[in-house]
Structure 1
Amino acid sequence: MLTVRDLDVWFGHPPDRVDAVSAASFSVASGESFGLVGESGSGKSTILRAITGLIGTWSGTITVDGQPVTGQHRSKAFHKTVQMVFQDPYASLHPRHSVDRVLSETLHLQGMDQIDRRITALLDSVGLGRGFRFRYPHQLSGGQRQRVAIARALAAEPRLLLLDEPTSALDVSVQAEILNLLSDLRRERGLTYVMVSHDLAVVAHMCDRLAVMRAGRVIEEMPASALRAGTAVSDYARALIAASASYQPA
């Protein structure tokens, strides 16, 4: 479903150019859930933004469902295949747009018909009843806003969802609800996920495989079972896993 080869992403121009991602390569099979982990600034989210065209300064090869992606602008067909859920639901929804407007505009942009029926079905699919349809973001909790953001992503009926820290801005009590929702949607719709997270426990629970990043480079790929067992190969990945365990009692 997704292949990334020798991806370089940078900002600015010499002599002030900053290389955010260097020679990153990985692939994700259809129906798989793949994680990108690493410390802050390692380039995880930058890769997702390059895939979606939110960053135009990149080189290398990106292939989605067998189709090469070039430049910064993405086709309508691309956005029917790939959608992204952002980290902060407080920022990703327009404060003056109701839930109805958010979803109806997205459906219109995707050329969908039967808008009313689709909006009701989308709200049901993310665990929100039709009573939420005409509410505004300030009338919703953080978890409810993220459910709306997920519904907006699903409106295009994509096959690949890019999840950029989808629960990190939420209360701990709500995080599990959103993760369970994402797991259910993946199973019901046969979706492919690429999930960025700094929380290794979330990745171990949600993903089949993962790549560990450091300073813009992919330094190791491993199955989630290796992450849970703490059997990473590289010194850095082992240190990252150990750090996620916080501390060892005396």
Structure 2
Amino acid sequence: MSSLEFENLNVWFGDGPDRVDAVTGATFDVESGTSFGLVGESGSGKSTILRALVGLARNWSGRMTVGGLELRGYKRPRAFYRDVQMVFQDPYASLHPRQTVDAVLGETLKLHGFSDIDRRIKTLLDDVGLGPEFRFRYPHQISGGQRQRVAIARALAPEPSVLLLDEPTSALDVSVQAEVLNLLVDLRKERSLTYLMVSHDLAVVGHMCERVAVMQDGEIVELLGVAEMRAMEVKHPYTRHLLEASVGYNPREA
């Protein structure tokens, strides 16, 4: 069963002569429990698909479903935000600078109607590899990698089935990127999560995902499995260009 389905998705900004088509005719599905990657250069429409899904891009047409529920307009039912959560690119910008880690997680848990907040905060911190000493720190008191772990813990708090990952490691030092990616891999297995991941880094996608959609100028130009990508068994010249231009990408090591 597919957790996510997109059929002929179009997303645009502005109207009339000012209209900009950001996504055109995107069609793909993400099977429950799998990880799917959207790759392409900046401005190709990858993140716009995530924003349309969560209701942040209001102008869209086509069909989007989550767990069989067809979405309409830009307003989402309350249950949607419990089932679908997003991890953004910049962990510092996505955390309130005047809230402690405890407040960030506690507020999310209360918003979704959970009790036993104290126990759940301790469990969430443990699940993302942060000890109790981080609980009452502010974002500026912890590193970028630790902030992103807090952001992941916040996304996990409502116990979602789907995580949307928007370049989750691109703002981090290279030395900690692998740690965060491996954490996400482990969490998907432990919690049977479904991932829809945006990245410009083919090595990251090769490590995280089973299937990939390659985007160029708002359109999906190729759908392929990661095994095909590793073997350079691609059909579209743009996909081949991305693979060849990817700095440090070794299909045998991804």
TM tier, shorter chain? over 0.9
- Pick from 168, 171, 174 the counterpart of residue 169 of structure 1: 171
**In the alignment, residue 22 of structure 2 is paired with which amino acid?**
A
> What is the match of residue 98 of structure 2?
96
> What is the match of residue 121 of structure 2?
119
**In the alignment, residue 194 of structure 1 is paired with which amino acid?**
L
**In the alignment, residue 59 of structure 1 is paired with which amino acid?**
S
Structure 2 CA distance for partners of 1:104 and 1:154, relative to 1, 3 Å: same
* Superimposed CA distance per residue, residues 153-206 of structure 1 (whole angstroms, 9 cap, x where no aligned partner): 000100000000000000000000000000000000000001100000000111
> What is the match of residue 229 of structure 1?
231
- Pick from 60, 64, 82 the counterpart of residue 62 of structure 1: 64
> What is the match of residue 74 of structure 1?
76
Separation in 1, partners of 2:102, 2:75? 27
3-state secondary structure, aligned to 2:17 = coil
> What is the match of residue 37 of structure 2?
35
Separation in 2, partners of 1:13, 1:140? 43
Normalised TM-score (structure 1): 0.97
3-state secondary structure, aligned to 2:204 = helix
| Structure 1: tracts of 5 or more residues without a match | none
> What is the match of residue 50 of structure 1?
52
> What is the match of residue 108 of structure 2?
106
**In the alignment, residue 15 of structure 1 is paired with which amino acid?**
P
**Which has the larger displacement, 151-160 or 67-76?**
67-76
* Superimposed CA distance per residue, residues 79-137 of structure 1 (whole angstroms, 9 cap, x where no aligned partner): 11100000000110010011111001100111111000000000000000111111000
Please show how residues 180-191 of structure 1 align to structure 2 within 5 Å.
180-191=182-193
Please show how residues 239-250 of structure 1 align to structure 2 within 5 Å.
239-245=241-247
Deviation at 1:243, TM superposition (A): 0.9
Q: Percent identity?
A: 66
Q: CA RMSD in A?
A: 1.0
Shift >2 Å, 4+ stretches: none
Normalised TM-score (structure 2): 0.96
